[in-house]
Amino acid sequence: MVLGPLQELIAAARGEIEVDLLLAGGYVANVLSGEVYRTDVAIHKGRIAGFDCSSAALVLELDGKIIAPGFIDGHVHIESAMVTVPEYARAVVPRGTTTVVADPHEIANVWGEAGIKYMLQSSRDIPLNVFVMLPSCVPATNLESAGAALGVDALAGLLPEERVLGLAEVMNYPGVIFRDAEVMKKLALAGRRPVDGHAPGLTGRDLSAYISAGIRSDHECTTIEEALEKLRSGMHIMLREGSAAKNLLDLLPLVTAQNARRFLFVSDDRHPADILQEGHIDFMVKTAIEQGLDPIIALQIASLNAAQCFGLRDLGAIAPGYRADIAVLDELEHPHVVRVIKDGKVVAEDDEFIAPLKSPVAARHKTMQIGPISFEILAEKGPARVIGIVPHQIITRSLQLLPKIQDGKVVSDVDRDILKMAVVERHKATGNVGLGLVQGFGLASGALASSVAHDSHNIVAVGVSDEDMLAAVLAVKEMGGGLVAVAEGKVVASLPLPVAGLLSEGYMRDVAEGIAECIDAAHTMGCKLEDPFMTLSFLCLPVIPELKLTDKGLVDVREFRVVGMFLGEG
Amino acid sequence: MVLGPLQELIAAARGEIEVDLLLAGGYVANVLSGEVYRTDVAIHKGRIAGFDCSSAALVLELDGKIIAPGFIDGHVHIESAMVTVPEYARAVVPRGTTTVVADPHEIANVWGEAGIKYMLQSSRDIPLNVFVMLPSCVPATNLESAGAALGVDALAGLLPEERVLGLAEVMNYPGVIFRDAEVMKKLALAGRRPVDGHAPGLTGRDLSAYISAGIRSDHECTTIEEALEKLRSGMHIMLREGSAAKNLLDLLPLVTAQNARRFLFVSDDRHPADILQEGHIDFMVKTAIEQGLDPIIALQIASLNAAQCFGLRDLGAIAPGYRADIAVLDELEHPHVVRVIKDGKVVAEDDEFIAPLKSPVAARHKTMQIGPISFEILAEKGPARVIGIVPHQIITRSLQLLPKIQDGKVVSDVDRDILKMAVVERHKATGNVGLGLVQGFGLASGALASSVAHDSHNIVAVGVSDEDMLAAVLAVKEMGGGLVAVAEGKVVASLPLPVAGLLSEGYMRDVAEGIAECIDAAHTMGCKLEDPFMTLSFLCLPVIPELKLTDKGLVDVREFRVVGMFLGEG
């Protein structure tokens, strides 16, 4: 008699048939009962069958190791890892991550619906559960030109897709609290599905208004006070440890046994080098425990809490019927993931991914459409607005300085470190070029350019001459997207990112190396910033104060409008 | 401009418009942040708007009282309270209960789909949220005649009904672990919806098998060991404090801050007198706190935990966007509910329900269809099986005694307290009468009868003579159902339960009085049992050992089959 999957699981649990796998000799970190205790775990057809068996096709001896539920990243932009989803899985799965809740916001800004479908398609049948929250704010603002717009109809078409859970971070908080018609429609569309928030600094009545709309999480808290108010007001607090934004240590003291269930670990934006060197959710678990958090609570935050937040009923715990997604830890005080089991199969051992991995879906749409461009800035009288970089932060200062002028035109001024910067629209060949000045890069020669430029991902460039900047932009276009460093008109380092101008099709370690080479080249050219390409990418983000540059021009973020370079015309 | 409900709530939260109600001067028991602290609560159009306002139509001064989320009963058979749903609300709402998850198993055994629809209809628009889990086992067994059968098709038709959440307690655990086709279909139908368990004593591989089928709660734990195993294996543990089954004190020591989220309070079966005298979920909260449980954890168990277990996203906490269902407590150490707010309106004060309450839906279907009946038992040789009552328990003993015989017929033997008992089929006038003997009632005269008889709710009677038993059965029929005590052929006490033979249409206090009068009458007739009608109702339940009586005859529960009275033919 052929059994259906449920019937077979029940038979396996009862010991009527041989199970696929028995994990023997380990201790289960049971996030449901809040205990760690000695027991075997029986697995059949990718699910937990129970805690013993009559016979097993394979017995894995764990020698006292800890059997923990696979980790869940509650909010991630996979694009920040600059690799395809299968390659992302190769990097994070050995770290114990078996599920991510992804917001494909970046690729949606380039490709719209097609980008989201690409992420869904390329994440199918890989040993990582990739759930998707639909980007709620594409384009992010009307102060820039994105490659696509995701309206209510597009979202409605995507919502029924398998693995789509709800609506991703609603960055447009004014749209919520002032009840913008389009935003209201998107919230109504989400209905009772999860809706993630993004509300840095929002407080008091405005915060209540935002949350009353059904928005139930936030990953932007930077202080205990902010997180406490959001926790009290009904938000799941996402403890973020990204590459640019790191909030874990600041927020951990807020966690108590009585409120811990409302916290999740999330990476948001985490770059290749950080994933490869520090790790992923495993790094947060380890850090939290080392900071004094009860290990079982740290593991709950890393698993069950996210599963409950997103209604993933068969993930986040080790119990009969749950998917057999497991991180085996060497110990609990300074835990290191030594083996990972996904859907009942060992997929990673000793930090190495060992399972077969499908090739990413081909995705070579042309996304580098550039119109005729010029970087010429006609000089005017008086001081000009200059973007002032604040090291290690994504905010900038709006400076007022007298620019260097030659032949009636504004030029880069290496001596005072005031360089020309350009954002070239690259989605629809409109010929839009935003031009500005920036202080803080420290380049003495050459130019840098990148197609990773939040949120619209046009091509951003900075350099000491128009010629080098143009060469850099054209080199990015030639690669189909990527990072580049140009000296004396020649490419000296580059990293192609041909998928949407955001992702490589290569290995994460090669991407990390490529980035390092580009950064080294920039440093050789005099740049003092730790990661000038990350800085460059955030200089285009017009929702973070004070002064930013998009393809439409300089944006005064406090006034939320495009302004001229010279104050005279401001 | 006319605002939609969400727009209006947002505007209210922001203080743009006057809110309906401000709770001022209280302390919020915040089950999300795990704290109790001073704050106001603003309410608008039935929902929490926030924690302050610019103006309020009504300000309620709380003088330091505690603002707790309204309590949720995670598993209840409302029928056990023997009143209609609106009247049930009148009794439990002043106790702080604002939501119940009901399993209309009893009325479904009488009326099938119509009974469930009646419960849904009569619970609409009352100040109590009544969610329904669909009875999974109607009829409970094939050893009795119920009034209806609920097959997969009927359940499929009911599942889309508003307020239906999932599948109620799957009592047929052999059907699960041995993979009965009908049971598998019901589980498949439930899909990812909640499925409640009922698995007393199930352990080891069989428990794993049962849970692996997606059954995620249990309210039948009686020991710490049993509850711990079920907790570890993935079940939400329902701490039950019913009228017959009381498990709260035994299980409380298992609760820790790390696992508390997996516990709920439930009443299961709670009779009128217990609700009116002890209370409902409030009694469990108070008892748990007095036993030393952290008050905020007790309140989480009473609210948020049940909401999460059943996916009720806007219930169980006090935060913007949540429904304004609130229990105001005088203090936390020995909490008493002094005021209840339902959907933003004060509905109870000082233990009294003060809101308008709709009349119950008329439900006078004829449910008393009796065929020609006889209680004659022809004598045979040798000992007979006799049901032996075990005081204060619902199990019975299977005794073997020589019955009293007159004129070749078995008769009640008052001297040895061996009385005749009958179960008369009352749904379809089949004429089925199950006959047996019972020891332990102690009646010296008269007869008792009741149409409340688990699970099929036929008419059960016990008495010293066939004439009194017949008079009692006919009196129950005449009332359209209920309880009755008969002496010398005349009714001396009675309680009509005309709705399905299970529910009164009167007040709960009158029902409690009516029950007390019937019990008093029984005591006057010599009965020694504390509640002979409750005992009587469980004598028919053929899933609880050892010997029971249904309309099909005596049931040996260990062998799960109908047996003859005399051992000779056994």
* Residue B569 confidence (pLDDT) above 90: no
Contacts B259 to A, Cβ<8 Å: 32-35
Helix and strand numbers, DSSP H then E, in chain B: 17, 32
Cβ pair B396, B388 in contact under 8 A: yes
Closest of B425, B429, B483 to residue B109, by C-alpha: B425
Q: Do B320 and A10 touch (CB under 8 A)?
A: no
Determine which of A3, A9, A10 to mutate to test the interface with B (most B C-beta atoms within 10 Å): A10
Residue B159 has what pLDDT? 97
Residue with the bigger pLDDT between B315 and A395: it is B315
Contacts A259 to B, Cβ<8 Å: 32-35
The pLDDT-based confidence of B568 (bands split at 50, 70, 90) is confident
Burial class (CB in 10 A: 0-12, 13-18, 19+), A222: middle
Contacts B332 to A, Cβ<8 Å: none
Kindly report the average pLDDT of chain A as a whole number: 96
Q: Do B212 and A49 touch (CB under 8 A)?
A: yes
- Predicted interface score ipTM higher than 0.90: yes
Residue A244 has what pLDDT? 87
* Residue A569 confidence (pLDDT) above 60: no
* Residue A75 confidence (pLDDT) above 50: yes
The pLDDT-based confidence of A570 (bands split at 50, 70, 90) is very low
State mean pLDDT over A313-333: 98
The tokens of B438 are what?
């019972």
Closest of A289, A354, A337, A279 to residue A70, by C-alpha: A337
- What residue ranges in B261-383 does DSSP mark as E strands? 263-266, 326-329, 337-342, 345-349, 352-353
Kindly report the average pLDDT of chain B as a whole number: 96
For A173, which residue in chain B has the nearest alpha carbon?
Answer: B10
Would you call B267 helix, strand, or coil by DSSP? Answer: coil
Tell me the per-residue pLDDT of A272-313, one tens digit each, with 9 for 90 and over: 999 999 999 999 999 999 999 999 999 999 999 999 999 999
Residue of B179, B187, B296 lying closest to A258 (CB–CB): B296
Contacts A321 to B, Cβ<8 Å: 211-214, 234
Residue of A10, A35, A213 lying closest to B6 (CB–CB): A213
For A11, which residue in chain B has the nearest alpha carbon?
Answer: B209
**Portion of chain B with pLDDT greater than 70, in percent:** 98
> Around Cβ A127, how many Cβ atoms within 10 Å?
21
Q: Do A48 and B212 touch (CB under 8 A)?
A: yes
DSSP class of residue B70 equals P
Burial class (CB in 10 A: 0-12, 13-18, 19+), B411: buried
**With the C-alpha atoms ordered B197, B202, B207, B210, is the resulting torsion angle positive or negative?**
negative
Q: Rounded CA gap, A77 and A100, in Å?
A: 10
For chains A and B, CB pairs below 8 A equal 178
* Residue B570 confidence (pLDDT) above 50: no
Tell me the per-residue pLDDT of A500-525, one tens digit each, with 9 for 90 and over: 999 999 999 999 999 999 999 999 99
Residue with the bigger pLDDT between A429 and B358: it is A429
The pLDDT-based confidence of A367 (bands split at 50, 70, 90) is confident
Contacts A232 to B, Cβ<8 Å: 30, 32-33, 35, 319
Q: Do B262 and A233 touch (CB under 8 A)?
A: no
DSSP class of residue A2 equals P
The pLDDT-based confidence of A2 (bands split at 50, 70, 90) is low
**Can you tell me which residue has the tokens 């440093």?**
A523
**Can you tell me which residue has the tokens 């970190």?**
A29
Q: Rounded CA gap, A356 and A340, in Å?
A: 14
Cβ pair B445, B525 in contact under 8 A: yes
Q: Do B294 and A258 touch (CB under 8 A)?
A: yes
Tell me the per-residue pLDDT of B391-408, one tens digit each, with 9 for 90 and over: 888 889 999 999 999 999
* Residue B1 confidence (pLDDT) above 60: no
**Portion of chain B with pLDDT greater than 90, in percent:** 94
For A47, which residue in chain B has the nearest alpha carbon?
Answer: B212
* Residue A542 confidence (pLDDT) above 70: yes
Determine which of A210, A212, A251 to mutate to test the interface with B (most B C-beta atoms within 10 Å): A212
State the amino acid at position B484 in one-letter form: V
* Residue A364 confidence (pLDDT) above 70: no
- The nearest CA of chain A is from the CA of B35 a distance in Å of 8
